[in-house]
Chains A and B, each alone.
Chain A
Amino acid sequence: MLLEVEGLCVNYGRIEAIRDISFSVEEGSVVTLIGANGAGKTTTMKTLSGLRKVRAGTVAFAGKDITTMPSHARVPLGISQSPEGRRIFPGMSVVENLDMGAYARPDRAKTRTADLERVFTLFPRLQERRDQAAGTMSGGEQQMLAIGRALMSRPKLLLLDEPSMGLAPKLIQQIFAIITDIREQGTTILLVEQNAAQALRIADRAYILETGEVVREGSGRELAADDSVRAAYLGGDV
């Protein structure tokens, strides 16, 4: 297993945001966490990147316990995140944002051209805008930039938090197609989505979160076909 989460509990003050969550991500797969607002998906993602303190439980990456490791030290290990709300650096240009993505790589100068090339192939739009201030771009373009930036560190595990949020339906299709491409290039993906239908379609494995707990798990296809899941998360029809 590339990522193993055991009995994870995270609090915001006295409020339990996630309670005793366990899941794992196999190398080369796409795993998705789905659930309603407030189910604890984003908290889980932030915790995996070290932005939230763990109250109990463990997080292991590639066999190594990283439960208390600071955020910045996780990036060189191969964990990278495109966070909820995109969080691009608004005052930096597209290229500067992408360079920030490679900040933790000691060999970034050598691989810069190839890495930029790869991102621009996935997102030709970014190449057209390479010198534009990221804060002035559209939401869809910023989302592409956030994913591209996360790829610049050449992660083993890519954490994608709500990549389709606020995007037009056509763009959503495009983003999901690109996620599939990224997986085919060998990057393991943990995907958090409210757009459950799309997420289940591309996921090898899925976990359903409700109020901070895992209530169902199974393969993407299994859950997509399940009646109660369809009723609760897929609006009745896929």
Chain B
Amino acid sequence: MSFLLNNIVELTVTGLVLGAVYGLVALGYTLVYGVLQLINFAHSEVWMYGSFAAVWVTVALGVAPGGPVLTAIGVLLLALLAAMTVSGGIALLLERVAYRRLLRLEAPKLVALISAIGASFFLAELMGLRDRVVDFFGLRDALDPFVRSARDNTRFLNPLETQGLFSIGRYTVSNVDVIIIVGAILMMVGLDQFIRRTRTGRGIRAVAQDSEAAALMGVNRDRVIRATFLVGGVMAGAAALLYLMRFGVTRWDAGFLLGVKAFTAAVLGGIGNVRGALLGGFVLGLAENYGSALVGSQWRDVVAFLLLVVILLFRPTGLLGESLGRARA
């Protein structure tokens, strides 16, 4: 208990950082669920590919930490762009390969789920075996820095040096903490505005509320579905970079646990609810941190899922309890 109280500021800040990442990834689950009533279980891999895209940008540019600040910011922006592009692209590819035909044939949702799980394994293993893949094409030497030790942790060297900005109690909040939390909130606000103000966003809401009625308004459902996957992917890409800035490492199979946590955050906030995803992410991140401080960090994941079960027992529709469809503008 005293450990928790002595470190409450640090636990809160890092909990929020973690929660921001969960929330951004959770958006992908919640958006796709909103329009398709389907859990895109391969969304974790969308995030994982984004994280590798970010790492590879820094590898390709040969960046070392501790350079000039402006260069570092430039590199981070490039890495962000690459992560968002790759994640968005993978999400679109998933829609095309794993879902589109099944949706058109009105296959049962369980079939789409199996398809998603298959796609998830494929994508993860493809990343984990990337050295063999490039070997096969005879590109091993050319691409060595990108594929070396494919099944081990892949480190991300943050070009921006961590600097303390200000202290609260005994904890010094760093520039990286601030960037992650502010960055995540900006992305969320942007998404919220996109959903509410743009034509595509209104199309997404309409399909989520009543997809037949939306078709009667002239909404092209297929395009809305693609836009939803793309937006969810872009958010996951941003989350990937923010995650790397804090934790500094990714792996071919890192998507699984993060994906499950983000999915938990989405359900916790109320699946289908955009603001709920953010809230669920923060609640989960904080609960994990406080919980592991109380009972030991090896219990971290247990605490997270215990919380999920308890909250859902009392609020089965999640904290915000409304779907994307019913959420008021």
Contact = CB atoms under 8 A, between A and B. Distances in A.
Of A51, A103, A153, which is in contact with the most chain B CB atoms at under 10 Å from its CB?
Answer: A103
Interface in A99-139: 99-101, 103-104, 133, 135
Given A83-B212, A89-B209, A104 B326 contact: no
Judged by DSSP, the binding face of A is: mixed
B328 interface: yes
Given A100-B206, A103-B203, A90 B326 contact: yes
Contact of A51 (B203, B215, B322, B323): B215
A88 B205 CA distance: 12
B199 interface: yes
Query: In which size bucket is the chain B interface?
Result: 20 to 34
B217 A103 contact: yes
B205 A91 contact: yes
Given A83-B212, A99-B202, A103-B202, A93 B219 contact: no
Nearest to B223: A72
Interface string B178-211: 0000000000000000000001001101100110
Contacts of A87: 210, 212-213, 216
A72 B202 contact: no
A83 B215 CA distance: 11
A9 B130 CA distance: 53
B218 A90 contact: no
Given A72-B219, A72-B221, A135 B326 contact: yes
B220 A72 contact: yes
Of B210, B215, B217, B220, which is in contact with the most chain A CB atoms at under 10 Å from its CB?
Answer: B217
A90 B212 contact: no
A83 B328 CA distance: 23
A163 B328 CA distance: 26
Interface residues of A, number: 31
A101 B217 contact: yes
Contacts of A103: 199, 202-203, 206, 217-219
Contacts of A149: 217
A32 interface: no
A83 B216 contact: yes
Interface string A127-166: 0000001010000000000000110010000000000000
12 contacts: A72-B219, A72-B220, A75-B216, A88-B213, A89-B213, A91-B322, A91-B323, A92-B206, A92-B209, A100-B202, A103-B217, A104-B218
Interface of A: 49-51, 70-76, 80-81, 83, 87-93, 96, 99-101, 103-104, 133, 135, 149-150, 153
Given A74-B218, A81-B216, A92-B209, 7 more contacts: A49-B215, A70-B215, A89-B206, A92-B206, A96-B202, A99-B202, A103-B202
